[in-house]
Structure 1
Amino acid sequence: MRRYCLVGQVDPQRIDVYKKAHEAVWPELLRTLKESGWRNYSLFLSPDGMLIGYVESEDLDEAQAKVAATEINTKWQKEMSKLFATEGAPDEAWRRLELVFNLEDQLAAL
């Protein structure tokens, strides 16, 4: 399982709405993410709107493509796009960060 870190930017004026939406993500979308290969998915939000996503997946490109092909994701992205400081669907605006250190990996290599 590979680890991925994603960075996005929520509109700082819409943070409260974004947080409220994520208190109860639509069950169909949750199931779609799981069935598409997303594991241990978490989001972290700073007060200035910087959004950090962490997810584990065998192949995130494939997992993202599976989710993107669903009607429920299209609806969710349409709603979420109103809350981001970027153009278009938020799930297409993620920047990926390179993993440079993991404690467990290095301990296992000893």
Structure 2
Amino acid sequence: MERLAFKMKLNKGQIDAYKKRHDELWPDLKKLLKDNGVSEYSIFFDEETSILFAFQKVLGSGGSQDLANNEIVKKWWNFMADIMEVNPDNSPISIPLKEVFYLP
């Protein structure tokens, strides 16, 4: 099992919309993530910077960010594009983070 972390940036004032959309995560997207080895996925929010910190445990070497060619994922990105910083294809601008400490 691998642990992955990355950060994204939410547009100012959009935390309620972001939380609501994730509280109502589409069942087919949840299934897709689970079927692709994502066993834990947490997202934290820093109010001072509007940075989202994401952490996930995955089987294998890829996580949610490696599902870019899936139609469900593309649909989700389009749904989220109005409230966060995105690339031209509407994928979230996501910056991988290097682990510097782990206490099992």
2:46 match: 46
Tell me which residue corresponds to 1:32: 32
Alpha-carbon shift at residue 85 of structure 1 (Å): 2.8
RMSD: 1.6
Match of 1:18 in 2: 18
Opposite residue 28 of structure 1, the aligned amino acid is D
* TM-score normalised by the chain length of structure 2: 0.85
For 2:23 and 2:78, how far apart are their aligned partners in 1? 18
Q: Distance in 1 between matches of 2:61 and 2:20?
A: 29
- Distance in 2 of aligned mates of 1:20 and 1:81: 15
Structure 2 unpaired stretches of 5+: none
Q: Distance in 2 between matches of 1:94 and 1:85?
A: 9
Aligned to 1:95: 95
The TM-score, its normalising length taken from structure 1, stands at 0.81
Give the greater-gyration-radius structure (CA): 1
Query: What is the deviation of 1:76?
Result: 0.5
Q: How many residues align?
A: 100
Larger helix fraction of residues: 1
Distance 2:31 2:73 in 1: 11
Task: Structure 1 unaligned segments of length 5 or more: list them.
Answer: 105-110
Runs (4 or more) in structure 1 with deviation over 3 Å come to: none
Deviation, structure 1 residue 70: 1.8
